[in-house]
């Protein structure tokens, strides 16, 4: 086994990535499919409960964050200008008001003025700063579907590069890092809405895979019975539904699904599209290589199932109250040869319009390890008020380590006030970042004030604050830079680029910097 991994690492990594994408596609495709199930069999009720629980949690968050959601959707459909003003505040506990670092941090201001039109695929950001009373301005970056423009205050020309030329330019600048002649970039991806699946893709996955998997699962693998259980401290009458798959059933279903995928050209198109989004604009060749090995990757996964050991199979039990899951116990045993382990997930949950609460234990156990961590939380939304606490806990024989989120929110009409804390807590170490502020979201404009702060007094570093004020509004259109004088650096050879840098950029930059040094010396 180790020899195989050593000789073909690229294939294995591609198989893993494609396997993950495929798993997401099958699961996501099945989320909405079970609304079409009309029977009341335990199998049907199992998946209907899964869907109802997912929909309930989604509706809870969409209602709670409707102001932010509406503004995000408005930005996708309209040209919008967003100004961001960033400043800091630092208190040095040992300086008594005479710290150079404190003076510099407290007198720096950065402003980003961005105009975006997602439909027209145009974006420009103007950058300016004020440092100790000295203004730095007239820097801009603009982007279209195919071109990047850079405006610098010390050049009369606007620098331009087409996305098809980015790879060659980077190779000219740093041939050791960027040594792939076929690397491709696509600026248009910035403007593509990052929806996981289109409606057509969702329907295809439902029709071809969700229904297929549902039909392949044996009816007699599901049983149900009534049972009273404790859920987050309360006794609840539930319907207990158990799905049990043995080793042969797991292998048979996996082989059928993977064989179907291997022959599905439409699925390959969907996988390639999702990989492009996942790996980013500069990795088109990587995606192409992965898709060239798609069939081999599928066979790799098939072989893993065929050679795998699933002695105790898969057991998933859910307890259902009012159509939603309130308790879960999941165990999946898998391995190779004598090396096998069991993934376990068990816990309670409640999903309603006013609360999402949960207490889960995740674990993996094999011959050598028994790893457990807990996820507990309560998120509420009632009368436009929210109160949250979520804790992820890791513990061993020596220490308990918690990652904690706490938050409070309140909404009055179109304004939201909030206090949020992200922290790490243990017996030996405590650290927290606070995020306080407010936001007002009207139909075509928004404002928000945000303060990020942390107290580092325990580390003798004082208190640090970062203030971010944001103003956004609808605009008629994006005002792109004047490109009547442009220099297309992407078309330059290495010698032409070096000559331009040495004869134009460097001397003009030095002259510009000299002006600022003279201005600084005047203070």
Minimum mean pLDDT among 113-127, 179-193, 253-267: which range? 179-193
pLDDT digits over 257-290, tens only?
Answer: 899 988 999 988 888 777 766 655 555 556 666 7
Res 226: pLDDT = 97
Residue at 466 is within a domain: yes
Clarify whether residues 430 and 465 are in a common domain: yes
Residues 400, 247: Cα–Cα separation, whole Å = 37
Residues 321, 226: Cα–Cα separation, whole Å = 10
Clarify whether residues 38 and 96 are in a common domain: yes
Clarify whether residues 508 and 437 are in a common domain: no
Residue at 49 is within a domain: yes
Domain span holding position 260: 10-474
Res 337: pLDDT = 72
Clarify whether residues 509 and 467 are in a common domain: no
Over residues 445-454, the mean pLDDT reads: 96
pLDDT digits over 225-246, tens only?
Answer: 999 999 999 999 999 999 999 9
Chain-centroid distance of CA 50 in Å reads 23
DSSP symbol at 483 = -
The closest alpha carbon to 120, from 29, 167, 30, 188, belongs to: 188
Contact present, 242 and 223 (Cβ < 8 Å): yes
Residue at 298 is within a domain: yes
Clarify whether residues 24 and 112 are in a common domain: yes
Clarify whether residues 384 and 500 are in a common domain: no
Report the share of the chain in percent with pLDDT over 90. 55
Res 138: pLDDT = 92
Res 187: pLDDT = 86
- Say how many C-beta atoms besides its own lie within 10 A of residue 290's C-beta: 23
Residue at 253 is within a domain: yes
Residue at 481 is within a domain: no
Clarify whether residues 428 and 505 are in a common domain: no
Band the pLDDT of 22: cuts 50, 70, 90: low
Res 279: pLDDT = 59
Instruction: Catalogue the long-range contacts made by 345-348 (C-beta closer than 8 Å, 24 or more residues apart).
Output: 347/375, 348/230, 348/231, 348/232
Q: Specify the 3-state DSSP secondary structure of 97.
A: coil
Residues 110, 136: Cα–Cα separation, whole Å = 9
Minimum mean pLDDT among 168-172, 195-199, 344-348, 467-471: which range? 195-199
Res 390: pLDDT = 98
State the average pLDDT for the chain.
85
Residue at 4 is within a domain: no
Residues 383, 155: Cα–Cα separation, whole Å = 56
C-alpha Rg value of the chain to the nearest Å? 28
Over residues 202-217, the mean pLDDT reads: 87
Residue at 483 is within a domain: no
Clarify whether residues 252 and 321 are in a common domain: yes
Clarify whether residues 437 and 498 are in a common domain: no
| 134-144 and 445-455 strand pairing | unpaired
Clarify whether residues 367 and 496 are in a common domain: no
Over residues 21-42, the mean pLDDT reads: 57
Q: Domain count of the chain?
A: 2
Res 280: pLDDT = 57
CA angle, 248 as apex, 244 and 254 as ends, to 5°?
85
Minimum mean pLDDT among 134-143, 217-226, 276-285, 509-518: which range? 276-285
Band the pLDDT of 344: cuts 50, 70, 90: very high
Over residues 452-456, the mean pLDDT reads: 86
| 80-91 and 339-351 strand pairing | unpaired
Res 277: pLDDT = 65
Residue at 204 is within a domain: yes
With tokens 């100790």, the residue in question is 132
pLDDT digits over 147-187, tens only?
Answer: 999 999 999 999 999 988 888 788 777 777 776 655 667 88
Clarify whether residues 22 and 67 are in a common domain: yes
Clarify whether residues 252 and 362 are in a common domain: yes
pTM recorded for the entire structure: 0.83
Burial class (CB in 10 A: 0-12, 13-18, 19+), 171: middle
356 versus 20: which is more confidently predicted? 356
Burial class (CB in 10 A: 0-12, 13-18, 19+), 461: middle
37 versus 104: which is more confidently predicted? 104
32 versus 385: which is more confidently predicted? 385
């Amino acid at each position: 086994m180790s020899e195989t991994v050593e000789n073909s690492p690229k294939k294995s990594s591609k198989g893993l990535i494609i396997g993950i994408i495929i798993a997401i596609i099958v699961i996501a495709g099945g989320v909405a499919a079970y609304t079409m199930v009309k029977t009341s069999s335990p199998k049907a009720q199992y998946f209907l409960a899964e869907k109802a629980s997912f929909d309930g949690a989604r509706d809870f968050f969409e209602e709670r964050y409707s102001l932010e959601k509406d503004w995000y959707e408005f930005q996708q459909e309209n040209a919008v200008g967003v100004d961001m003003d960033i400043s800091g505040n630092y208190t040095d506990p040992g300086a008594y008001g005479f710290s150079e670092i404190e003076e510099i941090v407290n007198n720096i201001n950065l402003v980003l003025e961005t105009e975006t039109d997602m439909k027209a695929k145009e974006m420009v950001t103007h950058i300016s700063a004020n440092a100790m009373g000295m203004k730095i301005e007239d820097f801009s970056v603009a982007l279209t579907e195919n071109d990047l423009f850079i405006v610098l205050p010390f050049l009369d020309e606007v620098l331009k590069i087409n996305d098809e030329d980015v790879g060659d330019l980077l190779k000219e600048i740093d041939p050791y890092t960027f040594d792939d002649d076929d690397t491709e970039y696509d600026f248009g991806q910035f403007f593509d809405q990052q929806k996981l699946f289109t409606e057509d893709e969702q329907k295809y996955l439902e029709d071809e895979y969700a229904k297929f998997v549902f039909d392949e699962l044996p009816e007699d693998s599901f049983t149900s019975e009534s049972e009273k259980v404790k859920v987050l401290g309360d006794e609840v009458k539930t319907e207990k539904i158990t799905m049990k798959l043995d080793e042969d059933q797991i292998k048979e279903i996996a082989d059928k699904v993977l064989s179907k995928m291997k022959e599905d050209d439409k699925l390959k198109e969907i996988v390639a599209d999702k990989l492009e989004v996942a790996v980013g604009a500069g990795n088109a060749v990587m995606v192409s290589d992965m898709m060239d090995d798609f069939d081999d990757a599928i066979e790799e996964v098939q072989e893993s199932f065929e050679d795998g050991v699933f002695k105790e199979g898969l057991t998933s039990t859910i307890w259902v109250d009012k159509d939603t899951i309130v308790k879960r116990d999941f165990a999946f045993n898998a391995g190779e040869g004598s090396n096998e382990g069991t993934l376990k997930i068990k816990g309670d949950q409640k999903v309603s319009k006013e609360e999402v609460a949960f207490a889960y234990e995740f674990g993996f156990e094999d011959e050598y390890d028994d790893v457990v961590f807990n996820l507990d939380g309560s998120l509420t939304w009632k009368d436009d008020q929210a109160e949250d606490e979520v804790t992820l806990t890791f513990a061993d024989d020596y220490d308990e380590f918690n990652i904690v989120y706490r938050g409070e929110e309140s909404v009055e009409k179109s304004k939201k006030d909030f206090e949020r804390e992200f922290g790490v807590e243990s017996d030996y170490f405590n650290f927290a970042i606070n995020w306080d502020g407010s936001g007002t979201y009207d139909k075509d404009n928004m404002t928000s004030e945000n303060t990020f702060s942390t107290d580092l007094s325990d580390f003798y570093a004082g208190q640090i604050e970062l203030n971010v004020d944001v103003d956004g509004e609808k605009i008629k259109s994006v005002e792109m830079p004047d490109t009547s004088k442009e220099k297309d650096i992407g078309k330059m050879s290495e010698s032409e680029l070096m000559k331009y840098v040495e004869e134009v950029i460097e001397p003009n930059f030095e002259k510009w910097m000299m002006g600022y040094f003279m201005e600084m010396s005047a203070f």
